[in-house]
Structure 1
Amino acid sequence: DRVILHFDADCFYAQVEELRDPKLREVPLGITQKFLVVTCNYPARRAGVTKLMAIEDAKKKCPGLVLVSGEDLTPYRLTSRRIFSVLQRFGSAAERLGMDEVWVDVTAACKKMMEENAERRWQGHEGGYLRRGGRVCLRHSSAAGQRDCTEGEGAVKEETGIRTSAGIAHNKLLAKLASGLHKPDDQTSL
Structure 2
Amino acid sequence: MDVFEAIETRLEIKEFDDRRVDETVKQKVLDAGRLAPSGRNLQHWQFVLVDDPEDVGRLGELSPTGGWVADADFAVVVCTDPQYDFNELDAGRAVTHMQLAAWEDGVGSRIYTVDRPAVKEFLEIPDDVDLTLVAGFGYPTHDVEGVKDRRPLEEVASRGRYGRPLE
Please indicate the TM-score interval, normalised by the length of the shorter structure. 0.3 to 0.5
Per the normalisation by structure 2, the TM-score is 0.35
TM-score, structure 1 as length reference: 0.32
Could you say which structure has the greater relative contact order, defined with CA pairs below 8 angstroms and 6 or more residues apart? Answer: 2
Name the one with the larger strand percent.
Answer: 1
